[in-house]
Amino acid sequence: MELSSRVEYALLALLELASCHPQDSPLTLNEITASQQIPERYLDQILAVLRRAGIVQTLRGAKGGYLLAKEPWQITLLEVFCALEGSGSRQTPKVAESVTIEKTAVLETWQEVRQASLAVLDKYTLQDLCQQRDARQQANPMYYI
């Protein structure tokens, strides 16, 4: 299992939205792209997928933008991953017609790896990522002159 740029950008954008979540002040696409260096058109597509999945919501108008649709502790990394990579991410790979003992052993092992990966993604939430980010920021303070 690999971290695609779509999932990485989605998590970065969601972390940005989680930063302002308690205030319920929406962030514009420009604000998110400026702070996370994500291409604007790409992020627009990602946020549309996350909106359809019920992870973010949009507010229209002059003071509009994007907000988290749920609390950060309710959004699992698995939910984000499946929204962007599709529900096929949870399915088992198709077995070829010429099944050998070796192919079966490889596929069964790979399925176990995938299940373990999905279990880890289901274990962590957006809140966990926020806490890790905050802990790292406190451990490495920036000094400006």
Specify if 22 maps to a domain.
yes
Residue 90 has what pLDDT? 46
Q: Provide the whole-model pTM.
A: 0.82
pLDDT tens digits, one per residue of 123-134:
999 999 999 998
Greater pLDDT, 11 or 114: 11
Specify if 144 maps to a domain.
no
Specify if 132 maps to a domain.
yes
Specify if 93 maps to a domain.
yes
* Local confidence band at 23 (pLDDT 50, 70, 90 cut-offs): confident
Specify if 65 maps to a domain.
yes
pLDDT tens digits, one per residue of 39-81:
999 999 999 999 999 999 998 888 889 999 999 999 999 999 9
Specify if 26 maps to a domain.
yes
SS3 assignment, position 76: strand
**For residue 10, which of 44, 34, 35 has the smallest C-alpha distance?**
44
Residue in the block written with tokens 């696409």: 29
**Please, are residues 83 and 136 in contact by the beta-carbon 8 Å criterion?**
no
Specify if 113 maps to a domain.
yes
pLDDT at 122 over 90: yes
**Please, are residues 95 and 82 in contact by the beta-carbon 8 Å criterion?**
no
CA distance 122 to 113: 14
Sequence letter at residue 44: D
pLDDT at 20 over 90: no
pLDDT tens digits, one per residue of 86-96:
765 444 555 55
Write the CATH number for 111: 1.10.10.10
Q: How many domains does the chain divide into?
A: 1
Residue in the block written with tokens 């890790």: 132
Mean pLDDT of 112-131: 93
Structural domain of residue 100, as residue ranges? Answer: 5-139
pLDDT at 10 over 70: yes
* Local confidence band at 136 (pLDDT 50, 70, 90 cut-offs): confident
Tell me the HSE value of 128 on the side-chain side, using a 13 A CA sphere.
11
Specify if 145 maps to a domain.
no
